[in-house]
Amino acid sequence: MDVVQFSKEIRRNTLRCLHSQGSGHVGGSLSIADLLAVLYTNHMHVDPTHPKMEDRDKLVLSKGHAGPALYATLALKGFFPIEWLDTLNQLGTRLPSHVNINLTPGVDMTAGSLGQGLSCACGLAIADKVKGIKDRYVYVITGEGELQEGQNWEAAMLAADKKLDNIIVFVDSNKMQIDGYTRDVMDVEDLVAKFEAFGFATQRVNGHDHAALDAAIVKAKSDNCGSPHCIIMDTVKGKGISFYETMGAGVHSTTVTDEQYAAALEELK
C-alpha cells in the first residue's frame, strides 16, 4: 500500500475506532495520520510479530490522547486484529483512550498525562546508546499545546546535553488546544527558535505533505550533527474530513455519530 492510500486507511480506521465509542479525540488523531503513514511505511524498523524486538525503532506518542490514530496504524500493520479497534475504552480493552505500554502490542510508552513523553524517550534513547544499538531511532510525537508543560524543556535540555542524536521529535502544531487557539490560550511560538536554542537540529514542514515529511526524516537521520532532531509539523486539526477541519477547537474531543462516520467515509473514498 502506498503512503497516500495508507494515510486514508489510517483515517478510516481511526474513525472506525472512535465511532465504536461514539466520540473521542478526533482532531488530534486525524492531524497525525499523515506522519504515521510516512513513518510506518518508510521508516519504522519494527516487527509486528515481535513487538518487543530489542533492535527496533520506538515511538513515544507523548500526546497520548491520539491513541486511536496509532491503534489504526498498528492494526493495519498487523500488530493485532483489526477488530480490536471496535473495543475502544470498553472495560478490559487493550485499547484505552490514552496509550499504555503494557496493554497494546506496538505501543512503546504510556502517555496521556501530558509532558512526560520526551523524558521517557530520553531514557529509551540513552538505553539504546548504552547497549550499543546503532541506526535505531526513538521517535516522539508531541502536540504544540503540550509544549506548555515545563517538563518538555527539562527533557530537551538533557537530550541536547547528552547528544541524543537518536531522538527525532515531531511537534504536531495543529494550532488548537482544548480551550481554543493555542496563540490565544498560551502562545508557544517561535517553536523553531525555541528548539534551536535548546540545541535541536530543527526543521519545519507541512505535516500533511508526505514527500516533505519523508525528506525531513531522511535529512534528520543522515545529519551527523550529534544533536537531537526536531521536526515542527504545521498541521490542521481534524485533517482529511471537511466538517472536522472547520469545527474549531471543539474538534479536540467530539462526536463520531453514525451520520458523521458515514459522511467521513464518503469523503475518504
Partner 1 sequence: MELRKEYAGELARLMRTNDKIFILDADLAGAGGTKALYAEFPDRCLNVGVAEANMTCVAVGLAASGFIPFIHSFAPFATRRVFDQIAVSVSYSEQNVKIVGFDPGVHTTYNGGTHMTFEDMACMRALSNIAVLDIVDGVQLRKALPYIVQHDGAMYIRFVRKQTDTLFSEDYEFHFGKADKLRDGNDITIVASGTMLFDAVKAADVLAKEGISVDLLGIHTVKPLDEEAIIASARKTGRVLTAENHSIHGGLYSAVTEVLSAQAPTLCDAVAVRDRLTQVGKLDDLKRDYGLTVEDICERARKLLQHK
Which of the 8 DSSP states describes residue 263? Answer: H
Stretch 198-217 residues interacting with partner 1 (CB under 8 A): none
Of the candidates 7, 24, 27, 59, the residue with the CA atom closest to the CA atom of residue 182: 27
94 binds partner 1 (CB under 8 A): no
Nearer to partner 1, 95 or 241 (CB): 95
Q: Does residue 112 interact with partner 1 by CB under 8 A? A: yes
Non-local (6+) Cβ contacts of 228 within 8 A are: 156, 159, 160, 163, 164, 165, 167, 168, 169, 199, 200, 201
Q: What angle do CA 230, 156, 253 make, to 5 degrees?
A: 70
Taking the least distance from each CB to partner 1, the nearer of 128 and 214 is 128
State which residue, 61 or 249, has the beta carbon closest to partner 1: 61
What grid cell was written down for 187?
Answer: 502562545
- Residue 167 is classified by DSSP as E
Of 129, 141, 75, nearest in space to 106 by CA: 75
How far apart are the two ends of the chain, measured CA to CA in Å? 15
Among 8, 77, 94, 162, binds partner 1 (CB under 8 A): 162
**Under rule CB under 8 A, residue 131 binds partner 1:** yes
Q: How far is the CB of 210 from partner 1 (least distance, A)?
A: 29
DSSP one-letter code for 137: -
Stretch that binds partner 1, among 116-124, 199-207, 217-225, 231-239 (CB under 8 A): 116-124
Q: Shortest distance, CB of residue 59 to partner 1, whole angstroms?
A: 13
Q: Is 57 in the site for partner 1 (CB under 8 A)?
A: no
* From 9-17, 25-33, 119-127, 173-181, span contacting partner 1 (CB under 8 A): 119-127
Could you tell me which residues are beta bridge partners of residue 204? 232
List residues bridging with 58 in a β-sheet.
138
Find the binder of partner 1 among 154, 196, 209, 234 (CB under 8 A).
154
Q: Is 120 in the site for partner 1 (CB under 8 A)?
A: yes
Q: Which is nearer to partner 1, 68 or 115 (CB)?
A: 115
Q: Read out DSSP for 2-44?
A: -HHHHHHHHHHHHHHHHHHHTEE-HHHHHTTHHHHHHIIIII-
Which H/E stretch holds residue 177?
strand 176-177
Q: Does 116 bind partner 1 (CB under 8 A)?
A: yes
104 binds partner 1 (CB under 8 A): no
Q: Choose which of 7, 29, 104, 110 interacts with partner 1 (CB under 8 A).
A: 110
Instruction: Return the beta strands (E) in 37-108 as ranges.
Output: 58-61
Q: Which is nearer to partner 1, 109 or 249 (CB)?
A: 109
Rounded least distance, CB 154 to partner 1, Å: 4
- Among residues 10, 39, 158, 188, the one that binds partner 1 under rule CB under 8 A: 158
Where along the sequence are the contacts to partner 1 (CB under 8 A)?
A: 100-102, 108-110, 112-113, 116, 119-128, 130-131, 151, 154-155, 157-158, 162
